[in-house]
Structure 1
Amino acid sequence: MTEEKKKRAVVTSFKPPRSSEWKPLQPEKDNGGSEKEARQNQDELHNVLLSSLQMQHLVVLAGSGCSMGAGGPSMLDLWNEVVGTNPSDKVKSVIDTVRYDITHKNIEALLSRIEASLALNSNEDLSKFLRNSKQNILKKCSGFLADEEKLEAHKTFVHRLSRRRVRDQRLKIFTTNYDLCFESAAGALGIVVIDGFSFSYPRRFDPRFFDQDIVRRPRNGSESATYLEGVFLLYKLHGSVNWAHKGNGNVVQEASPEPDEACLIYPAAGKYQQSFRQPHLELIAQYMASVREPNTCIIVTGFGFNDDHLSEPLISAVTSNPHLRLIVADPSAKEKLVDGNEYWKHLGELNAQGEDVWLISADFNQFAQLIPDLRSLSPADALVKAIRGVARTE
């Protein structure tokens, strides 16, 4: 990355509803931006995020962009892992069999073409390539978490969002990622994650566990039990690197499941149909219900709106749920509003129309730092902040 790109990368901004301009969070001296204006913008976004985190329901949709900051693979990385930067003759033969243009380095399109071909005719070479591809993807998505320091952004994100009032609903994180970033971050912080699996070994999936919670029992009978702080719910919509199918709908957690047993929705066009099989069906149902709850804030980060089965219900909820706030953080948000897919264009239209849609130009690491710490603002601090806000307006 050049120095100029690095300079641009740190200048985050946001676009409130009905605003025609993006508001910078750092002074843009080249455009005549002042430090006072930047501080006012920072305060505005801080107050919006602070009020959002205190809404009754808080939902997060996290995509691959969250893991890439911790060293996770991009779609191009998966292509290089499966096909190689310099494909062998054997790989080229497989690709030629399904008549795929190798210059288009789209792993999702390639695997979709292979799956479609195998659905019509069996082919040993294609089957072997597909199995090896899944094995390599499984390995690539699970082998980058050796260093806990890579998870600083995840730890900040989980720590700040999960510090909600216990009377509010638990934080819900829906993620399309296979990796264990959120689980590892929670483990490092000593936070309990309810992920739909039993607490006994082997850990078996049962959606009824999502309806359970953790309380702190009193030491004597004169006190009542209280909810444990920091607990959050995690829904892995496309499966996980440590989930294994054991037949008869039985899904357990294993350290290194075989590719044929791995409970993953691999990157291919068929992932839409796969999402309506168990356990993915249950997780999708939870997602559909969550985006339609009243008094809800949905935070989208690291998600490119390329999955129709997740993007469509979200956009629909914005237009049909009058008590919904949507916050989308993406480092390329400005560009995607102009030349992105139909969902990005729709987001831009909703934002311009005045719907409660806030757009933030920031990657996952930057956004994690923008999230207010709910316990850092005491009543005295809040009073001082309010007085300063009045003084600025006079």
Structure 2
Amino acid sequence: MDTEKSDKLVEETPHDPFPQLEGKSQDPWFNLQFDLQSSTEMPGITQIPPGIWNPNILYRGSENWLSRFAKDNEDEQKSNIRQEVLALFARWLKMQNVRILIGAGASFYVTGFIGSGLFGRVRKLLEGRSSELTLKAILAHASAPDKVGCHFEKFLSQLTAWRSLSEASQWPIDQMILDIPLKGIRGRQLRITKLSELLLDLERAITVVCNVDLPSSRFSAPDDRYHEWNITPHEALIAKLSARDPQQGRTKIFTTNYDTLIEQAMDRLGVMYCDGFSGTVARRFNPAAYDLDLYYPGEVTEGRVRRFDKVLHLYKLHGSINWRRSKFGTAGNPYGIVFDNRPLPREVDLLHGKSKNPASPDLERVLDKGEGLAILPTSGKYGETLAMPFSHMFRAFSQALREPQTVLMIIGYSGWDDHINQLIEDALTNPSFTCVIIDPNPSSWARRLCRADACGRVYCLGGHWGTFEFFALHVLPDLEVLRTELAIAQTLRDLQKSQNNKIWLKLQEGGGDGA
């Protein structure tokens, strides 16, 4: 999970991609304001009520791509911009290889946090547990305890290093005495035990906070009255990506997020996906799964097969809430990564339960001792990516960016992970590589990448149309297949409703005596 933004320490509020507008402004593009100035420096972008980011920008390198519309008639400007931008993304979707990198910003409309918000949510889950006392004792050593959340990744890194140094008893530094006092915790061994307990509870709490459900939509709700969204942004993105010509390269999605929102959207849409696991009852990581493909069986007389269209590849670069890492591999699972099918508790349920039982053991059942998430958000995650199976996924990411006719769309990623940034920057040596950064308030990394681009192959989309919701629903070109899927879902609901009405009428005719 992309947990930290160096230049965005103030927590953002969830934005509504469909704010309540008046009159003709029902068009979602109506409130967008565009920066048309001929400039080589991106302007500052601010969020104003009712949650609209303005101005909206599209830079190609250090060139303001929208400045070409400055001389258009004011009434035609917005229409021309919309048509040209949709055409631009339609062209990119038709490239041979489409790659997507998704960060924490894409999950924000569901999780409600980016960066600093994670620590506050995690800390609340520890209330009433012994690990909370350890955490309070440690925070007493911070000059600004209230700002620790803004640097949660560094905080976890220091805790991990502290424990490692405290329990070190091997050469060459085998005589170090690390005796940092903690209130209420006496003795070196007890301190090590408490640090380990705290780190495990933090890992458990991160898992619970990231265990979120995709909002209901017309694809999931049994009745039109009960869904929150007509179609969720995740469903829109997956539907548009899976509708590409199957004869082109398979779309590959890379994400740093632990949540399963992408998988939930693919399941709702009936999209087949390769996530690196094989097996059914006991699923285990097997990178060879990415090398497989799906085809319709060909007729015997034809002697050929046809590629199945709705297939995507999913790479979870830092692991997932349903992955478990064990220190010991087996002959059947040499990587020590398994898929855990057990249901996880919900954050709201644990918080509700705490009001009755502060020492609720539900959090303890999230991870067993010796287990863990694949890669925790610490400074050591770069080293962990060098070990299998993550080294395989990062090699696949690098290779995917070096293939001919490739476009990478970066959504909700702030550029905080240097090991990922390096692979993206190295890909610029590929002459047929295009990089498109989508972010409502582009980070310093995105701005630097654009400024350094002298070839015009780095684009940056900022402002309200850079939010994941608006981008997935309105900027990526709409596809006929999406309308068809929605029509099918509506047909099935209507048929079910009709069948239920017939049963109810028969019961009424029979006098309601069903005995």
Measure, in 1, the Cα distance between the counterparts of 2:472 and 2:214.
21
For the 8 Å contact 1:11–1:24, the answer to whether it is kept is no
What is the SS of the residue equivalent to 1:69? helix
Measure, in 2, the Cα distance between the counterparts of 1:321 and 1:36.
37
2:198 corresponds to which of 104, 126, 129: 129
Q: Who wins on radius of gyration, i.e. which is larger?
A: 2
For the 8 Å contact 2:95–2:405, the answer to whether it is kept is yes
Distance 1:242 1:85, change over 3 A: closer
Distance 1:132 1:24, change over 3 A: farther
Measure, in 2, the Cα distance between the counterparts of 1:70 and 1:93.
33
What is the SS of the residue equivalent to 1:117? helix
Measure, in 1, the Cα distance between the counterparts of 2:195 and 2:117.
21
Q: Does 1:81 align with 2:121?
A: yes
Alignment-derived partner of residue 110 in structure 1: 155
1:14, distance to aligned residue in structure 2 (A): 1.9
* Equivalences for residues 264-279 of structure 1 within 5 A: 264-279=374-389
Alignment-derived partner of residue 507 in structure 2: none
Per mean C-alpha deviation after superposition, the further-off stretch among 232-241 and 105-114 is 105-114
Alignment-derived partner of residue 81 in structure 2: 41
Alignment-derived partner of residue 380 in structure 1: none
Distance 1:85 1:206, change over 3 A: closer
Letter in 2 for 1:192: M
Distance 1:289 1:173, change over 3 A: same
What is the SS of the residue equivalent to 2:245? coil
1:86, distance to aligned residue in structure 2 (A): 11
Distance 1:13 1:376, change over 3 A: farther
Alignment-derived partner of residue 91 in structure 1: 135
Measure, in 2, the Cα distance between the counterparts of 1:252 and 1:207.
13
For the 8 Å contact 1:13–1:23, the answer to whether it is kept is no
1:321, distance to aligned residue in structure 2 (A): 1.1
Measure, in 2, the Cα distance between the counterparts of 1:358 and 1:125.
48
Q: Does 1:347 align with 2:392?
A: no
Post-superposition CA distance 1:57-99 (Å, at most 9, x none): 11011001111122364222321133349986542202346x5
1:179 corresponds to which of 245, 259, 276: 259
1:326 corresponds to which of 424, 428, 435: 435
Per mean C-alpha deviation after superposition, the further-off stretch among 111-120 and 122-131 is 122-131
Alignment-derived partner of residue 469 in structure 2: 365
User: RMSD value over aligned CA atoms?
Assistant: 2.9
What is the SS of the residue equivalent to 2:213? coil
Distance 1:100 1:124, change over 3 A: farther
For the 8 Å contact 1:23–1:41, the answer to whether it is kept is no
* Equivalences for residues 155-304 of structure 1 within 5 A: 155-218=235-298, 220-223=299-302, 224-246=304-326, 247-248=328-329, 249-256=335-342, 258=367, 260-304=370-414
Measure, in 1, the Cα distance between the counterparts of 2:125 and 2:323.
30
For the 8 Å contact 2:62–2:450, the answer to whether it is kept is no
For the 8 Å contact 1:94–1:126, the answer to whether it is kept is no
Post-superposition CA distance 1:37-71 (Å, at most 9, x none): 11111122112111111111110110011111223
Distance 1:146 1:229, change over 3 A: closer
Distance 1:280 1:77, change over 3 A: same
For the 8 Å contact 1:153–1:364, the answer to whether it is kept is yes
Letter in 1 for 2:83: D
2:427 corresponds to which of 317, 329, 335: 317
1:200, distance to aligned residue in structure 2 (A): 3.0
For the 8 Å contact 1:100–1:113, the answer to whether it is kept is no
Alignment-derived partner of residue 391 in structure 1: none
Distance 1:17 1:110, change over 3 A: closer
Post-superposition CA distance 1:236-264 (Å, at most 9, x none): 00001111234312322113462642342
Flag structure 2 segments of 5+ consecutive residues without an equivalent: 1-12, 20-47, 168-191, 218-228, 330-334, 343-365, 483-515
Structure 1 length-normalised TM: 0.83
1:230, distance to aligned residue in structure 2 (A): 1.7
Distance 1:289 1:86, change over 3 A: closer
What is the SS of the residue equivalent to 1:255? coil
Distance 1:46 1:84, change over 3 A: same
Measure, in 2, the Cα distance between the counterparts of 1:56 and 1:350.
26
Distance 1:174 1:34, change over 3 A: same
Measure, in 2, the Cα distance between the counterparts of 1:37 and 1:262.
53
What is the SS of the residue equivalent to 2:322? strand
Distance 1:44 1:112, change over 3 A: same
Alignment-derived partner of residue 382 in structure 1: none
Letter in 2 for 1:258: L
1:363, distance to aligned residue in structure 2 (A): 0.9
Post-superposition CA distance 1:191-221 (Å, at most 9, x none): 0011111143211111111000111114x42
1:303, distance to aligned residue in structure 2 (A): 0.3
Q: Does 1:55 align with 2:95?
A: yes
For the 8 Å contact 2:96–2:248, the answer to whether it is kept is yes
1:346, distance to aligned residue in structure 2 (A): 2.5
1:7, distance to aligned residue in structure 2 (A): 5.9
1:350, distance to aligned residue in structure 2 (A): 3.4
Measure, in 2, the Cα distance between the counterparts of 1:7 and 1:130.
36
Structure 2 length-normalised TM: 0.64
Q: Does 1:145 align with 2:246?
A: no
Measure, in 2, the Cα distance between the counterparts of 1:284 and 1:100.
37
What is the SS of the residue equivalent to 2:278? coil
Letter in 1 for 2:408: I
Measure, in 2, the Cα distance between the counterparts of 1:24 and 1:365.
26
1:358, distance to aligned residue in structure 2 (A): 1.3
Measure, in 2, the Cα distance between the counterparts of 1:372 and 1:264.
35
Measure, in 2, the Cα distance between the counterparts of 1:230 and 1:210.
15
Flag structure 1 segments of 5+ consecutive residues without an equivalent: 378-394
Distance 1:262 1:73, change over 3 A: farther
Number of residues paired by the alignment?
Answer: 360
Measure, in 1, the Cα distance between the counterparts of 2:437 and 2:314.
19
